[in-house]
């Protein structure tokens, strides 16, 4: 079986690697081509070009890279044609991936297509489901309430669970060792700061997060700050931290084995008392570790204005949505300011109980204790092809 698989950012890279492992388990003769990051490459993919070239978000951020993205798009279309896969699987990143699927289907009308991660049509721009239906055969959904939105437009949609429920968590001993190795006292509040994995996010959020932490440290001067990042953005993150208070500890992954970096990040999440994080998948990583959090997010003013007008829900934090609570404080757009974030962070540090209850409920609803999501996703792909074992 031949599979062309495309991911464009770190969260998609993790999904892709788990799906590849599931497909290898169920269909050992599978061959892969496509685009991915370090985790998919470790699973055996030779990426057509660096995945980081696609990791852009926001209208204003994308415009300067338009010609480069267009060139990469058609380079990928041609690679799909040459490979002639049994299935083309695109993962998240709809601005690139759904355009890719449309272009491929125009040239190859019979090409089987699967999109992994349902677009958030329940949050904004519900018309996207209708637009993708002519070129997408099947959708793999991470959230249990998503299938009806896709099925209403004729696409097969399988809830396969979120991969976070299958990821191992650090032990209490590993959390203690993390603090000890970095000279963080056992009784010092440990704050994780996670201003995103994209360059545009770091540039926009790092100053706000730094100001927020200054206000928190004024109240809790004994607190320590740890900042995980990804290798591709480590240099930008290090530069951003130069203006932060509290001598933050950067977990720099450059030149280190992926397994070591992942283990260190999980230990940091387990050791932390609270996190200040950008909106996105990281909120579920924190939930899996039961680390209370405050979410802050902003975009370029034009992107912000457009999203605010189209948003259909009152929260974009997945823990809030899946648990059907509003336990996690969230400040987006104009509200993403230190004056809002700092008091919420102090409150989460002092009163974490409601958040932790919502996090446990979220993990249950995302498939904790069931078959691993990567394997469920692989089984759904094969069933769609009529090739399930």
* pLDDT tens for each residue of 15-57: 999 999 999 999 999 999 999 999 999 999 999 999 988 875 4
Q: Does pLDDT of 61 surpass 60?
A: no
Confidence of residue 68 (pLDDT cuts 50, 70, 90): confident
Contacts of 93 by beta carbon, 8 Å cutoff, 6+ apart: 7, 8, 9, 12, 54
Q: Is the pLDDT of residue 63 over 70?
A: no
Q: What is the pLDDT of residue 281?
A: 83
> For 327, phi and psi rounded to 5 degrees?
-70, -30
Q: What is the pLDDT of residue 11?
A: 83
Q: Which long-range contacts (CB under 8 A, 24 or more apart) does 219-225 make?
A: 219/346, 220/189, 220/346, 220/349, 222/185, 222/188, 222/189, 223/188, 223/189, 223/190, 223/191, 224/184, 224/188, 224/189, 224/190, 224/191, 224/249, 225/191, 225/192, 225/193, 225/249
CA distance 354 to 334: 26
Contact 372, 22 (CB under 8 A): yes
Q: What is the mean pLDDT of the chain?
A: 93
Which of 142, 299, 133 lies closest to 205, judged by CA? 299
> Quick one: pLDDT at residue 318?
93
Q: What per-residue confidence (pLDDT) applies to 58?
A: 43
Res 382: pLDDT? 98
pLDDT, greater one: 261 or 301: 261
Please state the rounded mean pLDDT for residues 151-171: 95
Q: In the prediction, which pLDDT does 259 show? A: 86
When pLDDT is averaged across residues 319-331 and rounded to a whole number, the result is 96
pLDDT bin (cut points 50, 70, 90) of residue 266 is very high
Q: Which residue has the tokens 């338009």?
A: 66
Q: Between these two residues, 352 and 62, which has the higher pLDDT value?
A: 352
Neighbours of 52 (CB within 10 A): 18
pLDDT at site 388: 67
Phi-psi region at 351: left, alpha or beta (left = phi > 0; alpha = psi -120 to 50): beta
Interval 330-334 mean pLDDT: 93
DSSP 334-374: GG-SHHHHHHHHHHHHH--HHHHHHHHHHHHHTTTTSS-HH
Residue-level pLDDT at 377: 97
The 8 Å CB, 24+ separation contacts for 211-214 are 211/338, 212/276, 212/296, 212/338, 212/341, 212/342, 212/345, 213/244, 213/245, 213/246, 213/248, 213/276, 213/342, 214/244, 214/245, 214/246, 214/338
Distance (Å, rounded) from C-alpha 320 to C-alpha 336? 18
Q: What is the pLDDT of residue 59?
A: 43
Average pLDDT over residues 5-24: 94
Cα separation of 343 and 347, whole Å? 6
Structure-model confidence comparison of residues 64 and 85, the more confident one? 85
State the average pLDDT over residues 303-331.
Answer: 88
* Residue 280's pLDDT band (cuts 50, 70, 90): confident
92: tokens are 């998240």
Domains of the chain: 2-161+370-384 (3.40.50.2000), 172-365 (3.40.50.2000)
């Amino acid at each position: 079986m031949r599979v062309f698989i495309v991911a464009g950012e770190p969260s998609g890279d993790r999904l892709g690697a788990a799906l590849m492992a599931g497909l290898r388990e169920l269909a050992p003769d599978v061959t892969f081509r496509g685009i991915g990051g370090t985790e998919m490459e470790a699973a055996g993919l030779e990426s057509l070009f660096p995945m980081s070239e696609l990791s852009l978000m926001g209208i204003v951020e994308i415009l300067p890279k338009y010609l480069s993205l267009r060139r990469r798009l058609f380079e990928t279309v041609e690679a799909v044609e040459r490979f002639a896969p049994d299935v083309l699987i695109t993962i998240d990143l709809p601005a690139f991936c759904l355009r890719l699927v449309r272009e491929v289907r125009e040239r190859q009308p019979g090409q089987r297509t699967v999109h992994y991660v349902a677009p958030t049509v329940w949050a904004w721009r519900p018309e996207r489901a209708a637009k993708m239906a002519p070129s997408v055969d099947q959708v793999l959904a991470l959230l249990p309430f998503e299938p009806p939105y896709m099925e209403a437009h004729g696409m097969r949609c399988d809830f396969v669970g979120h991969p976070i429920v299958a990821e191992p968590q650090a032990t209490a001993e590993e959390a203690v060792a993390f603090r000890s190795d970095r000279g963080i006292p056992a009784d010092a509040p440990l704050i994780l700061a996670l201003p995103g994995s994209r360059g545009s996010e770091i540039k926009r959020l790092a100053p706000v997060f730094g100001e927020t932490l200054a206000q928190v440290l004024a109240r809790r001067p004994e607190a320590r700050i740890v900042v995980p990042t990804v290798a591709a953005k480590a240099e930008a993150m290090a530069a951003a931290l130069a203006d932060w208070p509290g001598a933050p500890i950067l977990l720099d992954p450059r030149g280190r084995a992926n397994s070591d970096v992942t283990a260190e990040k999980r230990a940091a999440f387990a050791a932390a008392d609270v996190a200040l994080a950008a909106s996105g998948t990281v909120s579920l990583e924190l939930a899996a570790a039961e680390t209370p959090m405050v979410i802050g997010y902003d975009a370029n003013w034009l992107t912000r204005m457009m999203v605010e007008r189209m948003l259909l829900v009152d929260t974009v934090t997945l823990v809030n949505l899946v648990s059907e609570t509003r336990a996690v404080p969230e400040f987006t757009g104009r509200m993403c300011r230190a004056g809002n974030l700092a008091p919420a962070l102090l409150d989460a540090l002092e009163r974490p109980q409601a958040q932790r209850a919502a996090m446990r409920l979220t993990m249950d609803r995302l498939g904790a204790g069931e078959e691993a999501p990567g394997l469920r996703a692989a089984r759904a792909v094969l069933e769609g092809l009529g090739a399930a074992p």
